[in-house]
Every structure is written in C-alpha cells, then in structure tokens.
Amino acid sequence: MTRSSLFAGVALAAGLFAATLASAAELTVGFSQIGSESGWRAAETTVSKMEAEKRGIDLKIADAQQKQENQIKAIRSFIAQGVDAIFLAPVVATGWDSVLEEAKDADIPVVLLDRTIDTKDESLYLTAVTSDTVYEGKVAGEWLAKTVGDKQCNIVELQGTVGSSPAINRKKGFDEAIAAHSNLKIIRSQTGDFTRTKGKEVMESFIKAEGGGKTICAVYAHNDDMQIGAIQAIKEAGLKPGTDILMVSIDAVPDIFKAMADGEANATVELTPNMAGPAFDAVMAYKKDGTVPPKWIQTESALYLPDTAKEEYERRKNLGY
C-alpha cells in the first residue's frame, strides 16, 4: 500500500464517520397525511415541511388519498424503514390498534395530528396534537357578544356538513358562548357543506327569508369558504357585509383576510395548519431525554381582526391554502 492510497483511505473513513454522525443528530419522521381534500389540508402539509426544515428533521410524507388502507400501508413502510417517529392524521377514528401495536413493538412513537382515534389502549400513541373545535366556536361567539354589546342581534348560522365533528363542535362552542347573552339569538341555521357555492346559496335564501336581510345582524359561518360565499350573496342583495351585517367565521384561510382588508368580514378564528410544529417539539424532547408529553396538545385558536389582515394575508398566501 502506498502512502497516498493510505491517506485516501483515512480520508474516506473520516468522511463516512462524519456522515453517520450527522444522521444520528437528525431525526427522520414519517407523516401519513390524509390527502389534499381541502386548502387547509394542503396548507398543513406545506407548513409541516417548513417546520421540519426549520428543525433539520427529515420528513417523509405519504399521501393516503382519503383511504385508511393506504395509511396503514404507509405506517408499515415507515416501520420497515425504521423512522424515529410516525405522525398520523387519521382519516377515520377506528381500526388503528393492530398497526399501532406494530409501531409500538418497533419502539417508534406515534403522534396523532389534527384528529384523534378511538382506542382502549392510549399507550399506542405518544400524544395527539389537535385543535379544540369547540373552543374555536366559543372564541367566535365571545367576539360577537363583546362586539354587539347590549344591542339586540339576530344571527344566522352557516353550518358545516351535517354530522361532521367540526360542524357539531363549532356549533356547540358558539352556542355556549352566546347562551349567557339573551340579546343574541340564532334565528336561522342551515348547512352550507363547508363550500363557497352552498354558502352563497344558503345565504341567498336567508336574505329572502329575513325580509331582504334587514333583520340579520350577524353571520356566523363554520368555515371561511362558506363565509366568502355569504359575503357575495349579501353584496348581490345590495347590502354591505362587514358593515350592515357582522361577519365572523373560522379557519383563517388567506381569502378571508383579503375580505377583512376590504372591510367585508369582521373576524376569523384560526384553525392553525401548524400541527406538526408542536408535534416535532414533543418528539425531539422525548428522544433527547425521555420527556413524556401530555396526552393531548391543544393548538391555539387565535382570533384575527381586520387590523392585521393585510400582513396575515401576505404571510399565508403561499402556504398552499
């Protein structure tokens, strides 16, 4: 062996060592995402990638196209790859026990994002990061109560898809918040299926049913998309949304900030797409010194008002909503 080749060998070994060190420091996380059925979901994926990058985490995302079997396949493949943690945004609540046991046997912590699962064995997952949809409704209701004060106020409500949990919970939270205020009354409530088209159609009928909209004081929509539809319906009826009728909704998608900046909406409550951030932090702490996070990490439900609408719009418009 010549000197030069020996030197080359050492250099190579050093390089290999450095590479091993780096991968030990950096975590690999597999994320079984439901799909991209809504703008919010797309934003969640984008934000997850950004949060991973910020922390130097290698994030592998598997899009399940709304199918549980795809998610189970993805989890098994993550286990086979030996990832450090698995994030799961479960498409349905049941049927996860056996695959999560496989993860547990492989000693890979699982974090539930955005939705929870039904299981008797809570040890199957490390923690669940979700928003509190009841609380979101409550924030919206409290804002409205405060804004209206003692005035009499007839509210119309655009519900989400009948029977869906966000629709049930956001209604519940809102009802709780206004229960104490006898001057606030929901006079009409219909489903707009979380879509702009239906939101607009339902709002049109509300306006007709309530004397051309003159008796409506506020619109509470379970998501911003329906609210955007409602804003158009109100404008077409010759009224001014945001001025003649107070507009409050939930989600904080970019378009509602645009509407707020134009004075056509009054408030939105954020359903943050950043579920992955807190989840990464929990996993990193757990990996570092075994800190066990609480079983439920609740994301914040911040209220946004027109004063910050412009900046918020700019900040969000590229998140993939």
Partner 1 sequence: MTLARPFRALPAATPQILTFVLVLLANWAVFPDFFDLRLQDGRLFGSLIDVLNRGAPVAILAVGMTLVIATKGVDLSVGAVMAIAGAVAATLAADGQPLPVILAAALSVGLLCGLWNGLLVAILDIQPIIATLILMVTGRGIAQLVTEGQIVTFTHEGLIAVAGSALLGLPMPVVIALALAGAVAALVRFTALGLLIESIGVNRTASTYAGVDSRSVLLAAYGVSGLCAALAGLIAASDIRGADANNAGLWLELDAILAVVIGGTSLFGGRFSILLSLVGAFVIQAMNTGILLSGYPPEMNLIVKATAIVLILVVQSPAATRLKGFFGPKGGRP
Q: CB count, 10 Å around CB of 50?
A: 14
Q: In angstroms, rounded to a whole number, what is the distance separating the alpha carbons of residues 50 and 274? A: 10
Nearest distance, CB of residue 321 and partner 1, angstroms:
6
Which CB atom, from 216 or from 237, has the smaller least distance to partner 1?
237
Q: In angstroms, rounded to a whole number, what is the distance separating the alpha carbons of residues 79 and 77? A: 5
Q: How far from the centroid of its chain's Cα atoms is residue 130's Cα?
A: 8
Which CB atom, from 68 or from 189, has the smaller least distance to partner 1?
189
Applying CB under 8 A, the span of 11-19, 70-78, 141-149, 226-234 interacting with partner 1 comes to 226-234
Q: Is 197 in the site for partner 1 (CB under 8 A)?
A: yes
The correct pick among 135, 143, 286, 321 for binding partner 1 (CB under 8 A) is 321
Q: In angstroms, rounded to a whole number, what is the distance separating the alpha carbons of residues 48 and 277? A: 7
Nearest distance, CB of residue 255 and partner 1, angstroms:
6
The correct pick among 61, 209, 261, 284 for binding partner 1 (CB under 8 A) is 209
* Contact pattern for partner 1 over residues 106 through 125, marking x by CB under 8 A: --------------------
Q: Is 270 in the site for partner 1 (CB under 8 A)?
A: no
* Angle between helical axes of 68-81 and 97-105 (0-180°, round to 10): 10
Q: CB count, 10 Å around CB of 34?
A: 25
Which CB atom, from 87 or from 194, has the smaller least distance to partner 1?
194
Nearest distance, CB of residue 45 and partner 1, angstroms:
9
**Which residue intervals of the chain are DSSP H helices?**
3-25, 39-55, 68-81, 97-105, 133-148, 165-179, 196-209, 224-236, 254-261, 276-289, 309-316
Q: In angstroms, rounded to a whole number, what is the distance separating the alpha carbons of residues 103 and 297? A: 21
Contact between 113 and 129 under an 8 Å Cβ cutoff? The reply is yes
Q: Is 37 in the site for partner 1 (CB under 8 A)?
A: yes
The correct pick among 132, 201, 244, 281 for binding partner 1 (CB under 8 A) is 201
Nearest to 32 by CA among 272, 295, 279, 278: 279
Contact between 249 and 228 under an 8 Å Cβ cutoff? The reply is no
Secondary structure of residue 256 in the 3-state scheme: helix
Q: Is 228 in the site for partner 1 (CB under 8 A)?
A: yes
Nearest distance, CB of residue 207 and partner 1, angstroms:
9
Secondary structure of residue 53 in the 3-state scheme: helix
Q: What residue type is assigned to position 224 of the chain?
A: D
Nearest distance, CB of residue 281 and partner 1, angstroms:
27
Nearest distance, CB of residue 66 and partner 1, angstroms:
11
Applying CB under 8 A, the span of 9-17, 133-141, 229-237, 305-313 interacting with partner 1 comes to 229-237
| Main-chain phi, psi angles of 82, to 5 degrees | 70, 45
Nearest distance, CB of residue 202 and partner 1, angstroms:
6
Applying CB under 8 A, the span of 35-43, 126-134, 240-248, 271-279 interacting with partner 1 comes to 35-43
For 211, counting Cβ atoms within 10 Å of its Cβ (0-12 exposed, 13-18 middle, 19+ buried), the class is exposed
Nearest distance, CB of residue 199 and partner 1, angstroms:
8
* Contact pattern for partner 1 over residues 130 through 169, marking x by CB under 8 A: -----------------------------x--xx------
Binding positions for partner 1, rule: CB under 8 A: 36-39, 42, 159, 162-163, 188-191, 193-197, 200-202, 204-206, 208-209, 225, 228-229, 232, 236-238, 255, 320-321
